[in-house]
């Protein structure tokens, strides 16, 4: 598929990573109707996401598989920074927590609380994550038309993703892959020739509004 062929209305449009940029841009274009389990994580390899989807999120972010990394970021509530109650103008910081089983990193879910271990908020996080997983699976199995959006993937990973989704999704679906290229100007079709997959070369600037405006132009949500 090319970019023109993927234009149209979808019942559901969801992000498959690799970081926060697809979810943020879908929301900016009013194309995001619910919070997905991968929206605010970092999944550097689509192969890991493929395995996660194939397993229907089994054992995802289980405490026994998680460990603390050295980096920190900001604590977000569905993409919105959370500020302390003391009137501070700096958002609460968050830990980077990696799921070693799937090689996926949570970067916005575990607030840094003085004198508290990062695991103190795990129960509430896991409850929220399970809600998002259940909603995600319900949406992609019951909706008539779905668009999956992924930043960064190889040809072979896209083939695998298409195959896995074909076994899960009951309705029609398409996959939009933005393939970042360093130093590139503009957007161009890659024409991988994979059924239901549109891949486009884009500048390697994940949060560039101009690129996303061009790619998402003509893509809409159906009125439900």
Q: Mark the ranges of the chain whose per-residue pLDDT is less than 70.
A: 224
Residue with tokens 């076994």: 167
pLDDT at 44: 95
- On whether both 38 and 140 belong to a single domain, the answer is yes
Same domain for 176 and 122 = no
Residues 44, 81 within the same domain? no
Question: What is the pLDDT at residue 62?
Answer: 98
Last residue of a domain, one of 79, 113, 131: 131
The number of residues in the chain equals 224
pLDDT of 200-210, one tens digit each?
Answer: 999 999 999 99
Distance between CA 174 and CA 185 in Å, rounded? 25
The pLDDT assigned to 12 comes to 97
CA distances for 167 relative to 102, 159, 161, 171, angstroms:
20, 13, 10, 11
- Among residues 131, 148, 176, the one where a domain terminates is 131
Of 146, 207, 210, 199, the residue nearest 172 (C-alpha):
146
Same domain, 124 and 157: no
Domain limits for position 45: 3-58+133-221
Question: Could you tell me if 125 and 138 lie in one domain?
Answer: no
Q: Please give the pLDDT value at position 23.
A: 96
Same domain? 146 vs 217: yes
- Asked if residue 94 and residue 10 are part of one domain, the reply reads no
Give the per-residue pLDDT at 224.
Answer: 58
Do residues 181 and 155 share a domain? yes
End of a domain among 131, 156, 191?
Answer: 131
Q: Are residues 10 and 99 in the same domain?
A: no
């Amino acid at each position: 598929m090319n970019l023109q062929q993927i234009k149209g209305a979808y019942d559901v449009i969801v992000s498959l990573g690799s970081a926060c940029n697809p979810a943020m841009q879908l929301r900016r274009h009013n194309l995001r109707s619910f919070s997905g389990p991968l929206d605010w994580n970092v999944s550097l390899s689509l192969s890991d996401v493929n395995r996660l989807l194939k397993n229907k999120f089994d054992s995802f972010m289980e405490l026994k598989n998680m460990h603390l990394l050295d980096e920190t970021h900001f604590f977000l509530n569905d993409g919105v920074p959370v500020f302390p109650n003391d009137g501070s103008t700096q958002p609460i910081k968050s830990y980077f927590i990696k799921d070693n089983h799937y090689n996926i990193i949570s970067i916005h879910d575990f607030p840094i609380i003085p004198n508290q271990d990062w695991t103190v908020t795990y129960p509430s996080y896991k409850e929220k994550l399970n809600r998002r997983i259940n909603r995600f699976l319900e949406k992609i199995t019951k909706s008539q038309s779905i668009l999956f959006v992924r930043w960064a993937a190889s040809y072979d990973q896209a083939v695998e993703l298409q195959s896995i989704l074909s076994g899960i999704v009951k309705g029609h679906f398409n996959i939009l892959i933005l393939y970042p290229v360093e130093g590139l100007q503009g957007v161009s079709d890659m024409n991988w020739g994979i059924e239901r997959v549109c891949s486009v070369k884009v500048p390697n600037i994940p949060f560039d509004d101009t690129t996303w405006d061009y790619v998402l132009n003509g893509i809409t949500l159906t009125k439900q």
